[in-house]
Chain A
Amino acid sequence: MQPLIEARGLCKRFGGILAVDHLALSVQQGELVGLIGPNGSGKTTTINMLTGHLSPSAGEILLRGERSEGAAPSSFAARRVGRTFQITQLFSRMTVLENMLVPGLARPHSHRAEATRQARAHLEFLGLAKLEGLQAKNLSGGQQKLLELGRALMLDPEILFLDEPFAGVNPFLRDEIIGLIQKLHAEGRTFVIVDHDIEAIQRLVKRLVVMARGAKIADGAVEDVSHDPEVLRAYAGV
């Protein structure tokens, strides 16, 4: 079966540093993949390339079989690739509803009434419905994380890249986010999740990809990967 998104020989060089080193990764429709690795191992850089926020120095990205490396983020978004950021990025001086409407109306052939209806439905799903008139900067940290997820959902994404969704999140909210991801996954959405919270990741995903120093060092079922000697070595910080 054709992968939903695939990277071949993907490299990113910053000055003299090879941040991502010939990465090969393919994600099938409906998968829920955890992408882990120590700090500086190239996880965020990889996501940034797979969503168009960075141009790869070399290699190919195939989105539903179509060459897409170096395309603008908006082009990825239009092809139903959603993402969140490591540090929550909202339109802080716009209301919650407006935050949702930006992606809703950026889609071709969208209508305001329909986009508003969808936005309200997603806000309801995320438990933010009552806050739609508030400015985003007045939300709590946790609500902001949810809103960012909601904004990505407005793209009706087939695949969602979540960059550290559990960082700085209290245990209750963490469980809530896990529940939301599971529901969305059950609807058929594909996820790639980067996080340091191994416990949360293990509760969620079946497949783990491990990166270290820009390269993929393991890729497989959670139980296999977590006993991989190379992974243990990478995490021991050798």
Chain B
Amino acid sequence: MLDYLLSQLLNGLVIGVIYAVIAAGLTIIFSILKIVNFAHGEVFMAGGYFSYFAIALLGLPALMGIPAAMLLCFLMSLLIERTLLTPLYSPKTERKGDYGVLATFGVSILLRNLALLVFGSYPLRPPSFWSGSLIVGAIYLTWDRVFAAGFGVLLLALLVWFMYRTPWGEALNAVGQSRESASIVGIDSTRFYRLAFGLGGALAGAAGALVGPIYSLSPSMGLAPDTQAFAIVILGGMGSVPGAIIAGLLIGLCENMFVAFFPDPSRALTYAQAFSLVVLMIVLLVRPTGFFGRRHMAME
């Protein structure tokens, strides 16, 4: 039993890292563009497929699938941003929140169906990054999972370094805090919207490439991580990268513990999908507009 729990714990940590990578991307998009991106899970899904086809068609080594997925997701995000999100920056657009929801929701439907069309509904499994398993005593963990977690941690570390230690990251933070002040000190906001949306997409793409060998790829694989990422982002504090990382690990762990302790094992797996949804609902209830976006009447 203890061994079982321990391997569930380790699996939870691995998944938690992946969640953190997805959520970090979502939170960057949220903090800069002020939209809740409903298409984030589909970019994650696309990342998985991009990696698969980069390996299968171009004959790249398995490891190169990750940067390929990141690059392609970055470019795809730029395309989405240029074609659909520019009205968000225009003062003429009414009800920007609703617009953002509808536009990104539409993108998610488009990408999901496009994936069904291009990739088919049968699951695909990309080659392993690192075959075999880590076996210590009774604990069993595939090297792919170890690798995914390690790479995820590396990405997150790079991201934190980028956000807090480089001029670009600092400028991005400045735009996130106040568009007006950013433009006063001469930062061209639109460039940073593009950068933020592309960066968020690249992170989702990396996560998609990383989970490919662990789970299989399917066009609907983005649905669950999407809500999980929302739960994480709100739990971690809207727009906070470190918050998203901590909350991501937490949700990954709790989800696996939930499965481990659920009394009826036959239902545990389906109800596991509901776990983060319920977390999301509770978080929304307790902090209805997250840590950002209160539209109460100002003090004065």
Direct interface between A and B, CB < 8 A: yes
| Interface residues, chain A, with chain B CB atoms under 8 Å away | 14, 17, 19, 39-45, 48, 53-54, 93
- For the complex, what is the distance from the CA of A45 to the CA of B298, rounded to whole Å? 8
21 contacts between A and B (CB under 8 A): A14-B299, A17-B299, A19-B299, A19-B300, A39-B300, A40-B299, A40-B300, A41-B300, A42-B299, A42-B300, A43-B300, A44-B297, A44-B298, A44-B299, A44-B300, A45-B299, A45-B300, A48-B297, A53-B297, A54-B297, A93-B94
Assembled-state Cα–Cα distance A44/B299 (Å)? 7
Q: Chain B, 278-300, contact with A by CB distance < 8 Å: what is the 0/1 string?
A: 00000000000000000001111
A78 to B149 Cα, complex, angstroms = 60
Most buried by A among B94, B297, B299: B299
Q: A53 vs B295: C-alpha distance in the bound complex, in angstroms? A: 13
Query: Which residues in A have their C-beta under 8 angstroms from that of B300?
Result: 19, 39-45
Instruction: Given contact pairs A39-B300, A44-B297, A44-B300, enumerate 18 new A-B contacts (beta carbons under 8 Å).
Output: A14-B299, A17-B299, A19-B299, A19-B300, A40-B299, A40-B300, A41-B300, A42-B299, A42-B300, A43-B300, A44-B298, A44-B299, A45-B299, A45-B300, A48-B297, A53-B297, A54-B297, A93-B94
Q: Kindly provide the distance from the CB of B85 to the nearest chain A CB, expressed in whole angstroms.
A: 23
CA distance A40 to B298 in the complex (A): 10
Report the separation of the CA atoms of residues A42 and B94 in the bound assembly, to the nearest whole angstrom. 31
In the complex, what residues of B have CB within 8 A of residue A19's CB? 299-300
A201 to B226, CA, bound (A): 55
List the B side residues contacting A42 at CB < 8 Å.
299-300
**A93 cross-chain contacts in B, Cβ below 8 A:** 94
Binary contact readout B81-116 vs A (1 if CB under 8 angstroms, 0 otherwise):
000000000000010000000000000000000000
Closest to A92 in B: B94
CA distance A14 to B300 in the complex (A): 12
Q: State A17–B299 Cα separation when bound (angstroms).
A: 10
- Complex-state Cα separation, A41 to B300, whole angstroms: 8
* Chain B contacts for A54, CB-based, 8 A: 297
CA separation between A76 and B53, bound complex, in Å? 65
Task: Give Cα A71–Cα B94 distance, bound, in whole angstroms.
Answer: 32
Cα A14 to Cα B299 with chains together (Å): 8
Residues of B close to A48: CB separation below 8 A: 297
Among B94, B297, B299, B300, max chain A CB count under 10 A is at B300
Q: Which residue of B lies closest to A37 (CB)?
A: B300
Q: Which residues of chain B are within 8 angstroms of A41 by Cβ–Cβ distance?
A: 300
Closest chain B CB from A184 CB (angstroms)? 25
Which residues of B from 191 to 226 have beta carbons under 8 Å from A? none
Q: For the complex, what is the distance from the CA of A39 to the CA of B300, rounded to whole Å?
A: 7
Which residue of chain A is the closest to B299 with respect to CB atoms?
A19
Shortest B97–chain A CB gap in Å is: 15
Q: Say how far A82's CB is from chain B's closest CB, in angstroms.
A: 17
